[in-house]
Structure 1
Amino acid sequence: MKTILFVCTGNTCRSSMAEAILISILKENNAAEKIKVISAGTGAFSGDHASPNSIKVMEEKGIDISGHRSTLLSRELIDEAAIILTMTQNHKRNVLRLAPDAAEKVFTLKEFSYGDDVDLNERNDILDPFGHSIEVYKSCRDEIEEALRRAWEKRYFKFCVE
């Protein structure tokens, strides 16, 4: 079984939502048993709950992340992952500082989902909603979901499920 690792800063907003959204997409496509999906944060305090606004906006999609607990990014998690999807270029750099040999398997989520269609300077990062309004969380959730659905439809996860 291949592992997909999502990375953000605190592992309480973006990466926890991305993890849950991809699991939901996998379930919709009868592929949940074929891919392990995990998340971590570059500055996470292990054991923190998902942020209340993340929980709320995911509930609107019928996804419960109230049981999520944050995990600090480690070399072991990087080594376990077949693909590492970060929320920003800075997160990608942090992964590569821990594991320079992971360069071929680490991408920002938008690089992975949109490839050459994304403007790497302008639109590549998924901004942190922490501390912002519920509307910002909804926008972040929708941006993550759009990217993951595109990646699934383009069969970018194909090698993980075959």
Structure 2
Amino acid sequence: MKILFVCTGNTCRSPMAQVLLEKIAKDKGLNIEVKSAGIFALDGQKASANAIEVMKQEGIDLENHRARIIHRDLLEEADLILTMSKSHKEALLSKFDFVKGKVYTLKEYAYGKEEDIEDPFGGDIRDYRRAKEEIKEALKQLTTLINGQLTGDN
């Protein structure tokens, strides 16, 4: 299964979601390929310093992450596209109609609630920790759902 996380700049939320899900998938032996991109990303930009720091606290290295802007190929190859906010989802649906049926907010897919992951950009380390925890909790539910799909339990 190929999952794409999308946020605004691909420097905070979506890269944190990507590396957290990669770690969970590895630990659980799930066959998942994970990527991330941003709707308004500057290609090649590093992850924000606070995102790097909170991932380091999880034992995950985000130093080598480089932002990339969303493009058609990424969207086409993804089986599931998870956005960090309703506005990201709406932007993708308005520009790329073929994503209908495979794009959701992360919380919508995990919990059935179309809610946003708060953007920590410009905030302090506590804002990044809060965003990380929101993402981690949603990913726990997500991996339970995906595991069922991958093993045919659903």
Give the whole-Å Cα distance in 1 for the aligned partners of 2:98 and 2:35.
20
Residue in structure 2 matching 1:63, options 57, 60, 78: 60
Q: 2:14 — aligned with what?
A: 15
The 5 A counterparts of 1:1-162 are 2-31=1-30, 34-115=31-112, 118=113, 120=114, 124-153=115-144, 155-160=145-150
Count the aligned residue pairs: 152
Q: Secondary structure at the match of 1:125?
A: coil
Q: Please list every run of 5 or more consecutive structure 1 residues that lacks an aligned counterpart in the other structure.
A: none
Tell me the amino acid that sits aligned with residue 106 of structure 1: V
Give the whole-Å Cα distance in 2 for the aligned partners of 1:45 and 1:158.
36
TM-score with structure 1 setting the length? 0.89
Superposed CA RMSD: 1.3
Give the whole-Å Cα distance in 2 for the aligned partners of 1:17 and 1:157.
21
- How big is each residue's C-alpha offset from its partner over 1:15-49, in whole Å with a ceiling of 9 and x where there is no partner? 00000000010011022xx2110000000001111
Give the whole-Å Cα distance in 2 for the aligned partners of 1:158 and 1:98.
31
TM-score with structure 2 setting the length? 0.94
